[in-house]
Amino acid sequence: MSRLYSFLIVSLILLISCQPKEKKTFPYSSTEFDYNELTISEIHKSLKNGDYSIAELTQAYIDRINQIDKNGYELNSIIVINPDALEIAQELDKEFKAGEIRGPLHGIPIVLKDNIDTHDKMPTTAGSRALSNSFPLQDSYVAKKLREAGAIILAKANLSEWANFRGELSSSGWSGINGQTKNPYVLSRNPCGSSSGSGVAVSANLTILAIGTETNGSIVCPSNNNGIVGIKPTVGLISRSGIVPISFTQDTPGPMARTVEDAVICLGALVGVDNMDSKTLESKGKSFTDYTKFLINDGLEGKRIGLYTKALGAHYKVDKLMNETVDFLKSKGVEIIEIDEIAKPEVDIFSFEIMLYEYKDGLNNYFKSLGPDAPIKNLDELIEFNKNDSIELLHYNQEYLLMANKKGDLSSKEYKNALSKLIKGARKNGIDRVMDKYNLDAIIAPTGSPAWKTDLLNGDHYMMGSSSPAAQSGYPNITVPMGNVNGLPVGVSFFGRAWSEPVLIEIAYSYEQATKHRIIPEFKSE
């Protein structure tokens, strides 16, 4: 039986059982899609009206992934589709019809970066062939919260292997298990990493939402290159348990969406104190299960915002967009204060040292969590696997794994010293100092440059970025589209103090609503 014939039979059954007012069709054109740019609120309104069912919506996204991502343009943003997605959708349809709404994401398809554990029929690979058959023993905290909120975990997204902390001269969006992810605006361009597949899937309308993870730049950079919204929350706002780690100090998951509102709805569904992640204990009394109250249209008026000028000067076309953004903010009653430095350069050295120590400790603990049948038991085995594999070291090395493996444990004097200096340098003498000195509500900077051409030989060609101050301090950062350069999107970042998500949401939402810089990708070859 053909896939199309099977689909028609399923659709007919759903039509009879759910009695929608109008049967929807699912065009297979790349840019003409009935559900293009849908938002959560629009979906919930349509479900109430009976315009379509959750199962129909889910099938449409599955078909689109198969047509555009797996075939057609071969975006390679998706590693695996959840074989149970349609069954889950049908169950959610029954609940919806009975008036049983699980939460704010009921019936919403979402894609997870494939370093986030799911206890189902999908492996969690971190993009590595070493974990191609690794099935975690339980859901990550993030997956658990998403299911509780009613989301459909539609698929697992490709990523820069091991979250882009494996070796030198890597290409963002490349993994041994799924190859190179492509940018949906211009296919020869790079999606940035390491949450590359998550960013592409959202931008290309293969899903409503995606979850990425960031250690330094891995949510905001793919959001920049793919023209979407990304929220990198304060470390501890969302649990990291069940996520393949790099750094206990800097790692965090976060939502990626086409609108600030959708990202904010998802953010509230993910927060919570998790005893498996001690960082979340710090969020008590500082988090909200509903951040939509901060979606206000006049959130710019009266704000004092610092312009991080160190992020300027590397790309005059990006500078032009940033200057236009500053002028716009001033027109809305924002006071702009220029700041040339946030943290001292040596903070970068401390951050890298900490990442190496915590990477070794975190990976070894993660492998233990997979139980006695884990395909890889420790970092030594992973390194050996890569040496003997025909694909893994084809384009770049595993130098960071080797460096991490030489480090001692987290009780070492060197680690504790670096951690102390990072915390003080990035926080007290970094963002906190600057914001106190100038009485700032937030800091802004261009998120990055337009997407560069993918180069598997020489690796990434970053020209600029502004993720480090928020990443190294563990503080929040929201990026929103601020324009484009020759059709390639560029974002603006709003970041600030720990737990300042509410004020950043006010600013980001107000800016987004007044500018509407999101553009739909057209999958150009050049």
Residues with catalytic function: 113, 194, 218
Could you give phi then psi for residue 78, rounded to 5 degrees? -115, 130
- Which pair of structure tokens corresponds to residue 268? 């509230």
Bond from prior residue into 194 cis (ω within 30 degrees of 0): yes
Could you give phi then psi for residue 512, rounded to 5 degrees? -60, -45
CA angle 70, 74, 76 (to 5 degrees): 75
Query: CA–CA separation, 295 vs 298, rounded Å?
Result: 9
Could you give phi then psi for residue 521, rounded to 5 degrees? -65, 150
Task: Show Cβ contacts of residue 254 under 8 Å, excluding neighbours closer than 6 positions.
Answer: 211, 212, 213, 214, 219, 230, 231, 232, 233, 238, 267
Query: CA–CA separation, 21 vs 301, rounded Å?
Result: 43
The secondary structure of 218-264 as a DSSP string is: TTHHHHHHTT-EEEEPPTTSS--TTB--S-TTT-EEEEEESSHHHHH
- Which pair of structure tokens corresponds to residue 496? 């600030």
- 8 Å CB contact between 124 and 82: no
- 8 Å CB contact between 166 and 401: yes
- 8 Å CB contact between 518 and 483: no
The dihedral of CA 463, 395, 222, 469: what is its sign? Answer: negative
Query: CA–CA separation, 117 vs 476, rounded Å?
Result: 23
- Which pair of structure tokens corresponds to residue 19? 């009695």
Query: CA–CA separation, 181 vs 226, rounded Å?
Result: 12
Closest CA to 182 of 418, 452, 366, 384: 452
